[in-house]
Amino acid sequence: MTFVRACGLGELEEDTPKRVELGGTPVSIVQTEGEVFAIHDICSHANVSLAEGEVDDCHIECWLHGSRFDLRSGKPDALPATRPVPVYPVQIDGDDVLVSLTQES
Ligand code: FES
């Protein structure tokens, strides 16, 4: 599994997603509830950036139609989205947030 630097830990604000591009892949980095998560930044329902949605209870909400995706699994908990969004392993190395795109879970 190869990890690449996504951003600095100090760049993250609690419950405020940060959109990054990793090798052309849009990824939302989210710090919430003492953990950092990485989730693909496109809703599985339509071509909408999840980073513009709100974070609550370890979920990120799509601002367009309101489906909420679990940051741990990528699964939606409400319609209209029915398919999960890829989530990626995260490592913290000092002040660096590292993400691996090679193994989606
Ligand atoms: S575009 Fe995200 S729920 Fe419809």
Dump pLDDT digits (tens) for 22-62. Answer: 999 999 999 999 999 999 999 999 999 999 999 999 999 99
Protein residue with its CA nearest to atom 1 in ligand 1: 46
| Domains (range + CATH), the chain | 4-99 (2.102.10.10)
pLDDT, mean of residues 60-83? 97
Query: HEC states along the chain?
Result: CCCEEEEEHHHCECCECEEEEECCEEEEEEEECCEEEEEECECCCCCCEHHHCCEECCEEECCCCCCEEECCCCCECCCCCCCCCCEECEEEECCEEEECCCCCC
pLDDT of residue 98: 98
Q: Among 47, 48, 69, 75, say which to mutate for ligand 1: greatest number of ligand atoms within 8 Å of CB.
A: 48
Dump pLDDT digits (tens) for 1-17. Answer: 899 999 999 999 999 99
pLDDT of residue 1: 84
Q: Among 52, 67, 77, 85, say which to mutate for ligand 1: greatest number of ligand atoms within 8 Å of CB.
A: 67
